[in-house]
Amino acid sequence: MRAVSGTNDKGSIQTDIGQDVIDEAVRSVERRMDEDADGAGTEVELDVSAPAAEADASTSEVTPPTEDAAALRQEVESLRAQLDFSQTKARETLERLKEAHERAKDFQDRAIRSAADLENYRKRAQKEKEDVQKFGVEKLLKDLLPVVDNLDRALDAAGKSPDFDSFQKGVAMTRKSFEDSLGRHGVKGFSAKGQPFDPRLHEAIQQVETAEVPSGHVVYEVTRGFYLNDRLVRPAMVVVARAPEVAAPPQAVAAEPVAPAASTEAPKASEEGSTTAPQAPAQPDDSSSGGSQ
C-alpha cells in the first residue's frame, strides 16, 4: 500500500499510514460521530419528557463534545485530502506505467521484427554466397566454351588434312581467342624476357652464365605471369642470367740459370769451320801416272 503523510491544526504531525488504515480510521470516526449524535438525540428526548426543572438541570450537566468532534472532523478532512492526493498521484503513476508499458511493448515488437529481418538477411546472404561459389564462373565458362569448340575443330581438321601450316594457323587463332576471353574477365598476361629480375613478379628456377644478357636479367621465360584486375595471380617462371666467371691469369715461373756445356760448343765450332772453309780439290799422284805410261 502507498503511505501518505499530513498535518493537523494541533501541531505538525507526520503520519505514514496505508490506505486500509485510513479507511478504517474514517469508518471509526464516523461511527463515533454517529454514536454521539444518537446519544445526544436520546438525551434530548428524555429531557422533553422530564419536568422542566429536571430538564434544565440535565441540560446544564450534559454538554456535547463539540471540541473533540471538531477535531475529529478536521482530522477526517485532512485524511480525506491526503487520500485524494494519494489517489491522484496513484492514478498519475498508473498512467505513466501504462505509457511506459506500451512503449516497452512497442520496442519489444520492433526488436522481434528486427531480429527476424536480420535472420532472413543472414539466410539470403548465405544462399547468395553459396550460389557465387557454385556458379560464379558461369560467365567465364560461357566465354571459354567457344575456345573448346575451336580446339575440337582444329583437331578434326588435323586428322583429315596433312597441311601442317593450316593446322598451325588454326591453333594460333584458337590461342588468341582464348586470351581474348580471359581478357574480357580481367585476366592479362605479361612477358618477362629481357626484363630485370623482380622477385615480386618473377620466380627464378635457374641461373645460367651468359654474356649475351646483362647479369640479373631474365634470359629465358618458362611460363608467363598473369594479372587478375591488377592483382598478380601467377608470377612468371624464369631463368636468370649470371655473369660468367673470369679465369685468373697464370702466375709467371722464374727460370733457373743453366751452365753452358763445353762438349756441345766444340762440335759447333768445327761445324762452323767446315761450313766456312771450302775443301781443296785432290791432286793427282805423279808416280802412279808415270808408271802407267
Q: What is the pLDDT of residues 32-74, one digit of tens each?
A: 777 666 655 444 444 444 444 454 544 445 455 577 888 888 8
pTM above 0.85, yes or no: no
Is residue 269, in this structure, part of any structural domain at all? no
Q: How confident is the model at residue 169 (pLDDT cuts 50, 70, 90)?
A: confident
Domain residues for the domain of 147 are 137-185
Is residue 43, in this structure, part of any structural domain at all? yes
Exposed/middle/buried for residue 129 (C-beta within 10 Å: 0-12, 13-18, 19+): exposed
Q: Which amino acid is at 141?
A: L
Is residue 132, in this structure, part of any structural domain at all? no
Is residue 207, in this structure, part of any structural domain at all? yes
Q: Examine the domain organization and report whether 85 and 29 are in the same domain.
A: yes
Is residue 126, in this structure, part of any structural domain at all? no
Is residue 102, in this structure, part of any structural domain at all? no
| Residues ≥6 apart with Cβ < 8 Å to 229 | 186
The C-alpha cell that represents 12 in the structure block: 505538525
Is residue 130, in this structure, part of any structural domain at all? no
**Overall number of domains in the chain:** 3
Q: Examine the domain organization and report whether 148 and 192 are in the same domain.
A: no
Q: Which amino acid is at 133?
A: Q
Q: Examine the domain organization and report whether 171 and 229 are in the same domain.
A: no
Distance CA 42, CA 35 (A): 11
Distance CA 123, CA 127 (A): 6
Is residue 8, in this structure, part of any structural domain at all? no
Q: Examine the domain organization and report whether 209 and 164 are in the same domain.
A: no
The C-alpha cell that represents 47 in the structure block: 429531557
CB-based contact 244:278 (threshold 8 Å)? no
| Residues ≥6 apart with Cβ < 8 Å to 209 | 241, 242, 243, 244, 245
Q: What is the CATH number of the domain that holds 230?
A: 2.30.22.10
CB-based contact 177:203 (threshold 8 Å)? no
Q: What is the pLDDT of residues 223-254, one digit of tens each?
A: 999 999 889 999 999 999 998 887 666 665 55
Q: What is the pLDDT of residues 124-152, one digit of tens each?
A: 999 999 888 888 878 888 888 888 888 88
